Amino acid sequence: MKPDIIADQYVNYLLVEKGLSGKTIEAYSSDLSRYFDFLKKKGIRHISDTDTPFILKYLIALRKAGLGAKSRARHLITLRGFYRFAVQEKILKQDPARLLDLPKSGLKLPDTLSFEEVERLLNIPDTNKPTGARNAAMLELLYAAGLRVSELVNLKFHDVNTEACFVRVFGKGSKERIVPIGLYAKEKIDHYIKSARSLLLKNIVSQYLFVARAGKPMTRQGFWKLLRLYAQKTGINKKITPHTLRHSFASHLLERGADLRAVQVMLGHVDISTTQIYTHVAREHLKNMHEKFHPRG
């Protein structure tokens, strides 16, 4: 069924059954009209052809158009009601907006970098220098696995398996997750381990993968300073933080068609059992999905 026909049914539902005011219905109608214009521009004729990543793209488009957080939150509320109605009327089998939650402070979408901007950033460190090789590996892994900066700096040497292209991460609440890392990260980590790590350690033994002075891990503040320096060198006119790369990781996967729930698993937003219970089949599924959809997989 065409979107405008369903919209008319939905507006009538709001008027007759919900008894909403004229101004509220007018606002909902305006929001839906803008959304349908976006559908037409993307060549989508039926709402059954939309999904959660598509709605996320629309919200991002609203932000780029200059809409504030509260306005985008209202648009999301409109879409959630609209899709809920479509499922209720058996027009759709599943609700693609149900996974999108509104934060208490209103909808605030994270800043992200384009893939080209990420490439520029990741290519800045001089890998011929020990610290440059380390920093290059850290940046690449941050983006490859969507890590939090605290997870990155606290990685132990044995947490990374470059042969199998996986990293074991302990996130919030010490919850463990296994994330694929891709070939670019594998190559830069291997290069760092073989050519730079021992030079940085200077005969000191350390359990940490990425080491700073006296074999200690780099601090979060230290990595922030490095990232800020590299960001300035790229000339990218955006505020770039470690979390920017984490958000870019998720956005780029979703934009290329990755399953939202699998991305949530890799980000650590869903509880994951221990490594022993986390089966080989699940590992291979995530690894294959990462290789297929991640731009540097």
Element (H, E) at 170: strand 166-170
From the candidates 42, 70, 238, 269, give the one annotated as an active-site residue: 269
From the candidates 246, 287, 290, 294, give the one annotated as an active-site residue: 246
The whole-angstrom separation of Cα 166 and Cα 182 is: 8
Q: Are 218 and 153 in contact (CB under 8 A)?
A: yes
256: annotated active-site residue: no
34: annotated active-site residue: no
148: annotated active-site residue: yes
For CA atoms 121, 179, 167, 296, the dihedral sign is negative
280: annotated active-site residue: no
269: annotated active-site residue: yes
From the candidates 175, 220, 278, 283, give the one annotated as an active-site residue: 278
278: annotated active-site residue: yes
From the candidates 84, 120, 220, 243, give the one annotated as an active-site residue: 243
Residue type at 205 in one-letter notation: V
The whole-angstrom separation of Cα 157 and Cα 138 is: 13
Among 217, 233, 260, smallest CA distance to 57 is for 260
From the candidates 18, 40, 156, 172, give the one annotated as an active-site residue: 172
User: Which residue(s) pair with 211 in the sheet?
Assistant: 217
How is residue 168 annotated by DSSP? E
Among 155, 184, 193, smallest CA distance to 171 is for 155
Task: Starting at the earlier edge strand, list the strands of the sheet with 166-170.
Answer: 160-161, 166-170, 176-180
Phi/psi of residue 176, each to 5°?
-95, 140
Residues in the chain: 297
Residue 80 contacts by C-beta under 8 Å, 6 or more apart in sequence? 97, 98, 100
HEC assignment per residue over 88-100: HCCCCCCCCCCCC
From the candidates 148, 188, 290, 296, give the one annotated as an active-site residue: 148
The CA distances from residue 204 to 59, 99, 189, in Å, are 50, 48, 19
Residues annotated catalytic, as ranges:
148, 172, 243, 246, 269, 278
